Amino acid sequence: YGLSVQDQLDLKPFKRVIESDEVKIASGGFGMLAVHTTQADLYTRLWCVHEVERAVNQEVKVHAAVSEKYKQDQKNRVNIMKTCKESTAQRCLEVAGTTVNTIRARCGKPSDEEMLIKQVMEQGGFEELDK
């Protein structure tokens, strides 16, 4: 009943999209939308990290989309940290969850995790994505 997940992945659908002119800003495209939610941090998901890395390397602008609840949650955390005497601006951002540490991203399938880590490392590494 249709293609298996592996058969679908073999078609490289994300690569086909991310390399198309329709998403590249230089060609008049919109870019890519990274959706942030209060339920899961997209930068803890290795497939998401990989897709952002590919977009950046293809010079596709990555836009962030967040809900009002997400924004308010972040703002509340920053405000709490601002009241602490030992707090720095960087620490406020870290506590609010607005900093990125992509090397901590995981994948449920070990073979996918190994493949994705290698691909990210070949394209500049995790540190480059965290900027």
Three-state SS across 84-114?
Answer: CCCCCHHHHHHHHCCCCCHHHCECCCHHHHH
Residue-wise pLDDT for 70-119, tens only, equals 889 888 888 887 787 777 878 777 777 778 889 999 998 898 899 999 99
Residue-wise pLDDT for 3-22, tens only, equals 887 888 888 888 888 888 88
Residues 72, 77, 79, CA angle at the centre, nearest 5°?
A: 90
The pLDDT confidence band at residue 34, using thresholds 50, 70 and 90, is: very high
The pLDDT confidence band at residue 120, using thresholds 50, 70 and 90, is: very high
**Res 103: pLDDT:** 93
d(CA 88, CA 105): 26
d(CA 30, CA 23): 5
d(CA 117, CA 106): 9
CB contact at 8 A, 123 and 53: yes
The two tokens of residue 7 are: 């058969």
- The pTM score is 0.78
Asked if residue 65 has pLDDT above 90, the reply is: yes
**Res 10: pLDDT:** 87
